[in-house]
Structure 1
């Protein structure tokens, strides 16, 4: 299976999560933001509109009060607001109208102009050039004495209210049928008469009129739906008009009640076009935003992946070293989170594991040493038994043969046989004593009692004790030393060492030759050397002579030496003192030497 880095896995995971989150956010805004914004905006406008109507109906409806309420409504919603009287005529500080004296009807009819004089309709209407007492024809919607004009004809031309025509088409009433008077005669009326009076806005008022073009279209739409019976004018009404190209608008209409009767109508309109434009801009913006955000996501994901994976990779490296018993590296950590806690735990594990392994290593080394010591002891035991068997076999054979000779009466001189038996018995006794001495020294439990003594005095005493052997071979012993040289050691054991070495020198020195005993004082030690003239020791035997039962002659003749334990005892005594010792050949003989610790009087 292909191995993937945790950095790559975290990078892909975080990039995917961030990208999916952003896409969901983008799709959510594309699908629901526009609807949510429209709902939110219409709801806020409706609440402000209902508050305006309630406060307006309770006020004295003076010009200043109405202006203040309208301004506050505009500040809150940025929406337009107008008022219509119960006949559907826009209430303004200026009331624009025409008065017509009917030809067939002997009554005055009023044509309100506030609702229609807006934008292009105003310009085309002014081109009629209507004058007082001029004959005109009006097709429109009658409401008692009021006629909302659909078209006005005069000798100068025809003016058509295009907004109402469009609304009629919305309700399935064709303008051609209206011209032929063939449709909805109950709705459409024909008025023929003479202009008796008119109040038109001046050019200075044109800007004010143009500001309410769109809301007037909505008012006319509502009036037509009321006349057709599709809208109840006594309740709050909300509807959308316009198109997506020119812009959608949301209209709110609510009656103004006084004493339970409808006296006016309030209209509020807010444009939805900015929402559509904003959504189009957002869609274009999201294309660039997605590219930028995607790049940022990649960078952040990479940084996040490295930041999270870096301590994990380091942990992996350290744990691999732990698996190979390498405890030299520790994990750095500074945070107090789970990763920091895990790093601390791994460091603690490393320290504890190192300690346990070191303890096991020490125990294992000790165990190996114990096993090796047991092996050496077993080997020594076998060698010891073998050596003892060989050493005891000869004297026992001699004793047995001489005892049998005495029993059988081979010789009448029994004193000779008895002396031999006693001599061999003494040798066996000496051997047994030396073997016990050696066993005690090698037991590892023997403790030396140290004391300060004069080494030169000890040498003199030993030489005096061994004067018989020295004189027997006519040897000359020379002691080279300074007086009062103090050493720190066990006096009895060092005396045993000197006796063995001097006895060895006497044994191997030819008769009439010289033995030299010298003491060399060094900084912290004193070296004692015993040199005898004679044949040198073979090089291959220099290291073996310290072994028990080892003799230079392979035959181990009883007449060439002692038991073979003397030098082994010397070695063990000197090792218990921690002394350096050895043997070397020189041109005219052999030198045995050892060192002892020098005793300083000032240190006491």
Structure 2
């Protein structure tokens, strides 16, 4: 791992130094081996020559002189070889250094260029390089830079256009927002005017309705009630129910509705009696069954009346002629269960029947706010509602928490 890391971290300059050292060492080894081999060959040749000729002493002296001369020649030859080797090494080293300097110069230009490339997008000059391979590389690099420069310019232009589009879109949205605010202000004014008008209308309607009902009661006390008067009374009571709904809607956010103890059985009977005339004119009648009396719930009278009255008027309106509206009140654990059902046209969308302004039969009269108002009150007071509708009967059921349970 250390050797691998050493080679990975090596620079060109370090590689050149290591290469020169290795070549020099190999040259020394080669010259040493060569000289050693020549000297051994010389000694062996001289010994063989003396033995073959079997020279005497006098001749030995002559041979010693020859040996010295040959040794001197050998030394000169060796010195010449060594000198020639170093000259060749020097020439090779010089040529190597020249090419290495050119290579390093080209490499340093590349390093400097790539170092500044992040801050300067100028092209590289190929004429400053020595090697053809590097000049070819510069051509490819400059071509790449031209492409990057074009893409950069295109992106800058696109960014400028995008900024212009964003500014234009922002200005347009600002204008739309101003218009919406203006429209909202106008709608708020219209809505406030409608609320004021409705509040005034509701307030002014109460007096004539009360006069009508009171006058009918006084007339009946002195005279016998006929069918026409009964119709007038039923219509007045229907209007009174609508008035009570509108009055509650107008006042519910400004008026606090306190809870009191209510005898639910007595309260329910009084409301059934109130609408008995209306039911009779619609050719339906109430059939009331109660399993207990004197049971109380802790509730607000106005809210309870809106639940019961709207359920009764809804039953009268949709019950088939000649049918009976079955009303029951019975205990269910800690709750009291109020049910009201009759044979009527099946309700297809039981989930939507409590939505505001929803009416399954568009030809029927009404605003579609009664059951929505009932649903809102039940959610506020934690009263469970269930609705079952079939060809046999449609039944609304409410579960009120009994007081003291």
TM over 0.5: no
Q: Which has the higher strand share?
A: 1
Q: Which has the higher helix share?
A: 2
TM-score by length of 1: 0.27
